[in-house]
């Protein structure tokens, strides 16, 4: 699996270089862990004693905050370098965090229906088929389990460069399914990583087809009216880079179900 090898190497390098994604949880954040993780109130009032999977969230932030809030935490990540940060921070804070090296689209080391919450920061861009990740998350979540995930938006990933009038150019086709090409404007890309664009019907449609009900959707803003061209917050004024989804695993079949039409990619 070439994408896994390439992304493991890329993320081990980012971890070694102390990238922005290796910012670990601070004392202040650990004092208010749920507020830090979730300012929108999507999480229950307490996660104490709940089984939480921090998926593709190595780096010592999400896992440490959930553990500080009293959850039983498992963190899965492809990069040993990122997982080392979770282990280091957990040990420093005398917290218990289980780390597991695995790819988000193959969680076979985890049992069916073993988690109450799955929390996944931006990372599905590193796998070619988002449906495989959704299927695995659906399998390991208990009925009514909560799945909070953040993703890169397709339009943002289509941007290739800025033109001479500081306009952002969509240089990648919407239906591009191979690894994304190298682009000039790398504001929302990670160096050396193999990334994939997931269309809206994949981001949201595949989620529903995997057995989730979407409860909320927000677009975290990265726009700053004062940001100058070239800055990621300038680009954030023109297109939202991320989408955050709140979804609920529903195992019981509803009383009225089924679709009359057969869906095809062109319909």
Ligand X SMILES: C[S@@+](CC[C@H](N)C(=O)[O-])C[C@H]1O[C@@H](n2cnc3c(N)ncnc32)[C@H](O)[C@@H]1O
Q: Please report, as ranges, the residues that interact with ligand X according to CB under 6 A.
A: 4, 7, 11, 21, 56-59, 61-62, 77-79, 82, 103-104, 121-123, 126-127
Residue closer to ligand X (CB basis): 21 or 212: 21
Which residues have C-beta within 8 Å of that of residue 210, sequence separation ≥ 6?
131, 134, 135, 137, 138
Closest distance of CB 79 from ligand X, Å: 3
Which residues have C-beta within 8 Å of that of residue 47, sequence separation ≥ 6?
34, 66, 69, 70, 71, 116, 117
From residue 7, how far is each of 182, 188, 229, 255 by CA, in Å?
Answer: 15, 16, 29, 43
Residue closer to ligand X (CB basis): 151 or 162: 151
CB 195 within 8 A of CB 179: yes
Give me the residue whose beta carbon is nearest to ligand X.
Answer: 59
Closest distance of CB 184 from ligand X, Å: 22
DSSP secondary structure code for residue 192 in this structure: T
Residue closer to ligand X (CB basis): 166 or 219: 219
Residue closer to ligand X (CB basis): 78 or 197: 78
Closest distance of CB 5 from ligand X, Å: 10
Closest distance of CB 4 from ligand X, Å: 6
Which residues have C-beta within 8 Å of that of residue 20, sequence separation ≥ 6?
none
């Amino acid at each position: 699996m070439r994408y896994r090898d390439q992304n493991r190497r890329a993320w081990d390098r980012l971890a070694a270089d102390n990238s922005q994604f290796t910012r670990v949880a601070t004392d202040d954040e650990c004092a208010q862990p749920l507020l830090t993780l979730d300012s929108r109130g999507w999480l229950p009032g307490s996660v104490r004693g709940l089984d939480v999977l921090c998926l593709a969230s190595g780096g010592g932030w999400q896992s440490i905050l959930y553990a500080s809030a009293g959850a039983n935490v498992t963190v899965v990540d492809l990069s040993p370098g990122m997982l080392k940060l979770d282990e280091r921070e957990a040990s420093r804070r005398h917290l218990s965090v289980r780390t597991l090296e695995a790819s988000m689209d193959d969680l076979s080391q985890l049992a069916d229906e073993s988690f109450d919450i799955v929390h996944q920061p931006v990372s599905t861009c590193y796998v070619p088929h988002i449906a495989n990740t959704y299927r695995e998350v659906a399998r390991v979540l208990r009925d009514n389990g909560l799945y909070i995930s953040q993703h890169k938006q397709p339009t943002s990933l289509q941007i290739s460069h800025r033109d001479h009038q500081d306009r952002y150019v969509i240089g990648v086709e919407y239906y591009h399914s191979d690894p994304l090409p190298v682009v000039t404007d790398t504001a929302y890309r990670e160096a050396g990583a193999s990334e994939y664009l997931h269309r809206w019907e994949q981001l949201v449609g595949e989620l529903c087809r995997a057995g989730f009900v979407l409860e909320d959707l927000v677009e975290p803003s990265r726009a700053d009216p004062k940001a100058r061209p070239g800055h990621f917050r300038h680009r954030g004024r023109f297109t939202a880079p991320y989408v955050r989804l709140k979804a609920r695993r529903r195992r019981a079949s509803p009383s009225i179900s089924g679709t009359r039409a057969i869906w095809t990619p062109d319909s």
